[in-house]
């Protein structure tokens, strides 16, 4: 075994020993429960995906699963509805979104109708504002949504608004240093770092895989779907 191979093996063993000692593992159907904010983790991370794009099926979900993690897919009507419906059955969240940027009730109603058409899900109670239209908030409770993700690139700290959850855009033009700083801030300040993606190919795929690897392998961070983390925060009195 070469010196380089030995270094890689030692690094792998140290990481896994740390994870075992801390007990912080990514959320999955096999590892449910809250690890943040009242748990072993000093911060939480969620990966979210908008607009029902095929690269999310080909690259996004499979890579998360390969790392033992799960994400949240905010869907809109597409020819891939059946494929996205299957994601929920392996532990991912599938929830509300829209292709329309209007600010009327029909936008939210349409998001709920699509979810109903796709099948009965256990985790479809969160929403992603289309085009950052926060004005839609007033319609969300009527259609069974208890929280929502926006596009402001902020880390969510104590007493954040569950209908205005901030997120960092991870795409082809992302800056790796800034993307990394997002989860590091969450870890340092007992917060929640949310990433949102559209396409998961090309450079965006590279950034996605880098962030998933780094956060899943960080023994101080809990990687879990958006709705799971939001419920844990709400139960702990961490959000309003």
Domain boundaries along the sequence of the chain: 23-235
Using a 10 angstrom Cβ sphere, with 0-12 exposed, 13-18 middle and 19 or more buried, the burial of residue 236 is middle
What average pLDDT is seen over the chain?
A: 89
Q: pTM of the predicted model, to two decimals?
A: 0.89
- Annotation: CATH topology of 23-235: TIM Barrel (3.20.20)
Please list the ranges in the chain whose pLDDT falls under 70.
1-23, 120-123
Per-residue pLDDT, 80: 87
Measure the CA–CA gap between 225 and 72, rounded to whole angstroms. 5
| pLDDT, tens digit, 9 for 90 and up, residues 199-226 | 999 999 999 999 999 999 999 999 999 9
**For the chain, what's the residue count?**
240
Q: Which of 126, 94, 121, 91 is nearest to 108 (CA)?
A: 126
Q: Cβ distance 33 to 209 under 8 Å? A: no
């Amino acid at each position: 075994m070469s010196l380089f191979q030995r270094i890689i093996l030692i690094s792998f063993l140290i990481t896994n020993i740390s994870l075992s000692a801390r007990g912080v593992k990514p959320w999955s159907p096999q590892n449910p429960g809250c690890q943040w904010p009242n748990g072993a983790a000093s911060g939480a991370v969620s990966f979210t995906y908008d607009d029902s794009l095929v690269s999310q099926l080909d690259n996004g979900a499979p890579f998360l699963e390969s790392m033992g993690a799960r994400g949240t897919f905010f869907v809109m009507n597409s020819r891939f509805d059946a494929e996205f419906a299957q994601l929920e059955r392996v532990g991912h969240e599938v929830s509300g979104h829209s292709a329309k940027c209007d600010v009327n009730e029909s936008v939210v109603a349409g998001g709920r109708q699509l979810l109903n058409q796709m099948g009965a899900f256990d985790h479809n109670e969160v929403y992603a504002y289309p085009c950052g239209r926060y004005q839609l908030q007033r319609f969300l409770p009527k259609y069974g949504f208890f929280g929502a993700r926006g596009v402001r690139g902020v880390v969510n700290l104590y007493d954040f608004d569950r209908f205005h959850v901030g997120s960092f855009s991870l795409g082809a033009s992302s800056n790796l240093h800034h993307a990394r700083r997002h989860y590091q801030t969450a870890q340092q300040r007992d917060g929640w770092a949310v990433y949102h993606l559209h396409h998961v190919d090309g450079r965006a795929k590279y950034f996605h895989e880098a962030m998933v690897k780094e956060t899943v392998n960080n023994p101080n961070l809990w990687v879990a779907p958006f709705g799971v983390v939001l419920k844990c925060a709400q139960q702990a009195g961490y959000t309003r």
